[in-house]
Amino acid sequence: MTKHAETMNGHANDRKWLAYRAGSLHVENVCLATIADAVPTPFYCYSADAIRSAYGRLTTAVSPFGVSICFAVKANSNISVLRLLGELGCGMDIVSGGELERALAAGVPASKIIFSGVGKTRDEIARALEVGIHQLNVESPAEIAAIAEVARRVGKRAPIAIRVNPDVDAKTHAKITTATKESKFGIAIGDVADLYAEAAAMPELEALGVAVHIGSQIQNMAPFRRAFTAMAELVTAMRKRGLVVPRLDLGGGIGIAVDGGAGPDIAEYAGIIAETVGQLGCDVTVEPGRWLVGRAGLLVTELLYMKDMPNSIMGILDAGMNDLMRPALYDALHPVLPLREPRADEQTRTYSLVGPICESSDKFGTYEGLGRLSAGDVLAFDCAGAYGASMASTYNSRDLVAEVLVDGNRFRTIRHRQGIAEMLKLEKAGDWRLSSPMGKEAAETAPGKALGRGW
Ligand code: LLP
């Protein structure tokens, strides 16, 4: 048995919703094999109870300090998941016009939505202002100018916060580190106060605060402490200059345990917030994504073929890197649970699990303790509730993966597979359109014209 499965069955298990019963893996009171009989694999399966309980634990930890929670929609943007969290009172952190529409469609009021991201388009900004967004987190002087221009056009003041780059290494995977000097995110901390003062003086803008997000899947609390301390010092210095800074957004990033370990302690995280920024009297928000949903979801997949390799046995799955990108992109190793519980005395083998995509990076990892696997067995990749379905694609013209939600003894599909028929519909070629050799706009700005030479 894997260390992961042992923990799951032992006292350390904080996930009562996931367990083997009579030898079969259950999500809450539903046997996963029953779902796999009804819904073709691969599919994601989430536990509503797990999401509710994660939200409850986070609220218990941070709400005594007056901290609000905005779920980072990018982690899992399924509208049923958003609705579930929204109904619990959770706000949303979005990074695109699409995510804005999802959050609104899920019934989350615009007044609880924060818009982050380095590259918002003018259309996205306009829509956000029209619906009455709580806050736009801005990341460059050029974006401030664009927001002011759009605000003038739509006749609304834009509530903004400046995202700060505190130059803190989150000590996580390089591809999900976001606050070191070279990162593309935020404004260097030394430049923030001046920029904020400029923004505060603009009639189209309402400068409301500062924001930070240092990275994702952070296991060690020290970088949070460093970043939040830097933010507290920044706010204090800004106030000394006479700037009004009522809001503070501390971003997301709290990691989850993926194999047996306890994982970051949420009470410790809350304590760090209280110690570092508690005295400022700001309205504080956090934007967790992974922590709320990561451990609440599985990717269920069938073994198509077994193949003998020199050092292992390869299992070829019907799920690939297009369904779960994290192993290929971040070298993530998602624990595997066979739907049929391996017997304690079952002879174990080493299996390397791969997907069907025509790329060498389409592999999930090497696993022990899964018992004897054979073609037709169904497996579940654990801790796949965050950045799984939301990052899935149709690469190799494969169906966009389905999603299922379990609640108590019921389950339902919350995203149907998007198949080739839908894809081909969108590829119906449009009419050819003629391009003039030199459009009107190009002619007006052409270098020849500027030089007065004429054409
Ligand atoms: N706030 C902002 C501004 C963010 O950019 C992110 C994530 C979050 C909050 C939520 O972070 P979380 O609490 O989920 O760590 N695809 C990667 C993770 C990318 C995270 C991007 N930003 C992965 O699968 O590990």
pLDDT in tens, 271-288: 999 999 999 999 999 999
The answer on pLDDT for 448 being more than 60 is no
Instruction: Calculate mean pLDDT across residues 354-365.
Output: 97
Q: Which of 216, 269, 334 to mutate to test the pocket of ligand 1 (most atoms within 8 A of CB)?
A: 216
The model's confidence at residue 258, banded by pLDDT at 50, 70 and 90, is confident
| Per-residue confidence band for 452, with pLDDT thresholds at 50, 70 and 90 | very low
Q: Which residues line ligand 1 (CB under 6 A)?
A: 72, 75, 93, 116, 176, 213, 216-217, 251-254, 287-291, 326, 330, 386-387
pTM: 0.94
Cα 389 to ligand 1 centre (Å):
14
Residue 261 has pLDDT above 80, yes or no: no
For the cut 50, the answer to whether the pLDDT of residue 56 exceeds it is yes
Supply the mean pLDDT for the chain: 93
Going from the Cα of 216 to the center of ligand 1, the distance in angstroms, rounded, reads 5
Q: Which of 90, 282, 358, 383 is catalytic?
A: 358
Residue 11: per-residue pLDDT:
41
Q: What is the mean pLDDT of residues 130-157?
A: 98
**Residue 200's pLDDT band (cuts 50, 70, 90):** very high
355 to 78, 172, 308, 321: CA distances (angstroms): 24, 26, 15, 7
Q: Which residue's CA is the closest to the ligand 1 atom numbered 8?
A: 252
Task: Give the pLDDT confidence of 5-25 residue by residue, as tens digits.
Answer: 665 654 446 789 999 999 999
Is 45 a residue of the active site? no
Q: State the Cα–Cα distance between residues 297 and 24, nearest whole angstrom.
A: 17
Q: Give 287 Cα–ligand 1 centroid separation in angstroms.
A: 9
Mean pLDDT along residues 190-205: 98
Q: In the prediction, which pLDDT does 3 show? A: 62
The Å distance, Cα 340 to ligand 1 centre, comes to 33
